[in-house]
Chain A
């Protein structure tokens, strides 16, 4: 059963269909919110809020095969509201698991250097303006097309491309070797 069919059933009050939809999309939504907030707990809350809004607005959903855009529009609105509330756009801090870090004992220099590079990138990603980060996360990690991102963010495809180019430009500059570094 595809997402549009599930949404039709959800609108008719079928809770089992809603559960199926949640289980199908929860990892993507949680991952999105985690990358937008940097916090596992906030991601959990925002994921729940996202699906409750999906449920509340199921009756207004138009089954046109664009469920993913619609879902991420809701998720994106919530993430941006969260950022406005917290006023922390620009200093999202990521809680990384210990097992996410490379190596626990003495590590080869290359591994340490690679890990440092990833941490710098993670930090630079977290420091991007909210809309640039949202566009990049949707493109890189959720494989949404420019058109779908534009629909999700309520903007034009050209504006999305501009957000992406600016985001990549910032990240390139952040990762550029520091002056004087070997």
Chain B
């Protein structure tokens, strides 16, 4: 008995030739299991076609063009992915240095110099570096204020 499994999706997508279709119809006329399988599969196939189309997202070209012509950045990955590693690495290093400095009682010493080097050495843009530098300055100011109390 030649069941229809191997030609099921070809049947559903209408890509079978007329001879093959007739063979399947003849088989299903005599095979209750295949007849039910075919009917249920056709229902699923048609319902799949009724599922909502994906909502349009913004044109891809703008982001692609930006990635092709990076301004001092690595092309390819989306923005959050490009920034996540260097930013996290810089933040972790800075936190470690600040903590170490505070434990050593030198809030404005080696840490300040090292942090400047870290900022310069990462892939941070000028704006992002300025933001990070501002945050660090605030942290050191607070640290120095605590020291002076």
Interface residues of A (CB under 8 A from B): 15, 19, 22-23, 26-27, 29-31, 34-35, 40, 43-45, 47-49, 51-52, 55-56, 96-97, 100, 117-118, 121-122, 125, 136, 139-141, 143, 145-146, 161, 164-165, 168, 171-172, 175-176
Contact = CB atoms under 8 A, between A and B. Distances in A.
Interface of B: 5-6, 8-10, 12-13, 15, 37, 40-41, 43-45, 47-61, 63-65, 67-68, 75-78, 81
Chain A CB within 10 Å — which of B13, B45, B54, B81 has the most?
B54
B64 A22 contact: yes
A146 B55 contact: no
Nearest to A173: B40
Given A15-B68, A168-B8, A27 B51 contact: no
B49 A140 contact: yes
Contacts of B81: 45
A16 B45 CA distance: 39
Given A22-B64, A26-B59, A121-B51, A45 B44 contact: no
A21 B116 CA distance: 44
Given A35-B54, A164-B9, 10 more contacts: A22-B61, A44-B60, A52-B64, A52-B75, A136-B48, A146-B10, A165-B8, A165-B9, A168-B41, A172-B41
